[in-house]
Amino acid sequence: MANTLSTYSLRHKYFSTNLAFALKKALISDAICNVDRSELKTIENPYVTEVVAAIQAVAGTYTPAVRTVTDDALSVDDEVVVSTHVFDFENRTANFNLTANFLEDLMYQVGFKTDQFVLNKILDVATGAYTTPAGGFTTAANIPVICANLLSKVAGFQSGIASNPFLVIESTDVVGFAQAQVSSGFAYADAALNNGFMGNYMGIKIYVIRTGTFVTTTLGTLTATNSGHRLFGISKLAMFASPRGVQYEEKMVTGKTGREIVAYGYVGAKVWNFHLPLFVDITLA
């Protein structure tokens, strides 16, 4: 794709030395997942079937349990890529470095699409399920009820495995949270009134993404069915792999001056088998 200069760029000063891009959206996959950026395409984590202890009258006899080892693996099967072309005359006559600024934006776009893929992948495989009361997160009275119900789904595990819960909501859901927070107990309400939306409620870390991040569409090899859904789970139990992270290249193109620039990355995401119930697919009612 070729870019053209603004008609002002050849005869006026720019107020800023940088181009203004669209507002960047928050990225949260790194915060809630374990991340592997090695060059491995597959990460193995086999698991063994659980056994249940029996209580019985004293007899001195028992039946050995049969245990089966099952392979479980995270595979990197998807890539995210975006590119553009910067002509040499554009770079030389502009009052800023087009290549550097465009590349920064391209790398962010790869990061955002990777983030969207990971969130939708985790939500799509979560085996925990919960349907909110009518009005979902936009009704303030629902917030403590929903959070209490979600916490009950991961409570009671040994070694504090459920001690770091998170909730991913979309920006439209902040309406109910903000109202619930300012009407809570004194200190918390005062903090919310003074500072606005609080990122923690009832011990749950709350992450806000823009509306439309959870989607019903095809994302590479993933056919997501997540429109109208939200994600709850335990931090650092899901995993995503991004071999070498976001990379970029600058290429000369036959028949054109300047450079073609491309940013790309590879991605795979996984929730290990025994942790699947600790991730909850929330359906908004």
Residue-wise pLDDT for 250-266, tens only, equals: 888 889 998 898 999 99
Task: List, in sequence order, every residue forming a beta bridge with 218; answer none if it has no partner.
Answer: 223
Identify any residues that bridge with 230 across adjacent strands, giving them in sequence order: 282
Per residue, the 3-state secondary structure of the chain, as one string, reads CCCCCCCCCCCCCCCCCCCCCCCCCCCCHHHHEEEECCCCCEEECCEECCCCCCCCCCCCCCCCCCCCEECCEEECCEEEEEEEEECHHHHHHCCCCHHHHHHHHHHHHHHHHHHHHHHHHHHHHCCEEEECCCCHHHCCCHHHHHHHHHHHCCCCCHHHCCCCEEEEEEHHHHHHHHHHHHCCCHHHHHHHHHHCCCCEECCEEEEEECCCCCCEEEECCEEEECCCEEEEEECCCEEEECCCCCEEEEECCCCCCCEEEEEEEEEEEEECHHHHHHCEEEECC
Residue 7 confidence (pLDDT): 55
Q: Measured between alpha carbons, how far is 112 from 106 in angstroms, rounded to an integer?
A: 10
Distance CA(132)–CA(38), nearest Å, equals 39
Lowest mean pLDDT among 2-6, 86-90, 160-164, 192-196: 2-6
The residue assigned the tokens 């600058």 is: 250
Residue 144 has which token pair?
């403590």
Confidence of residue 12 (pLDDT cuts 50, 70, 90): low
Distance of CA 275 to the CA centre of its chain: 17
The predicted structure's pLDDT at residue 253: 86
What count of other Cβ atoms lies within 10 Å of the Cβ of residue 9?
16
What does the pLDDT look like over 60-97, one tens digit per residue?
999 999 999 999 999 999 999 999 888 888 877 776 77
Tell me what the pLDDT averaged over the chain comes to. 88
**Cα–Cα distance list, 49 to 40, 69, 234 (Å):** 27, 7, 22
pLDDT at position 162 is 75
Confidence of residue 15 (pLDDT cuts 50, 70, 90): low
- C-beta neighbour count of 174 within 10 angstroms: 17
pLDDT digit string (tens) for 180-213? 888 877 777 777 777 767 788 889 999 999 999 9
pLDDT given for residue 17 in this prediction: 55
pLDDT of residue 196: 67
CB contact set of 131 (below 8 Å; sequence gap of 6+)? 282, 283, 285
* Residue 248 CB coordination number (10 Å): 15
Q: Measured between alpha carbons, how far is residue 63 from residues 58, 66, 69 in Å?
A: 14, 9, 19
Parse the chain into domains and list their residue ranges.
Answer: 29-42+73-283
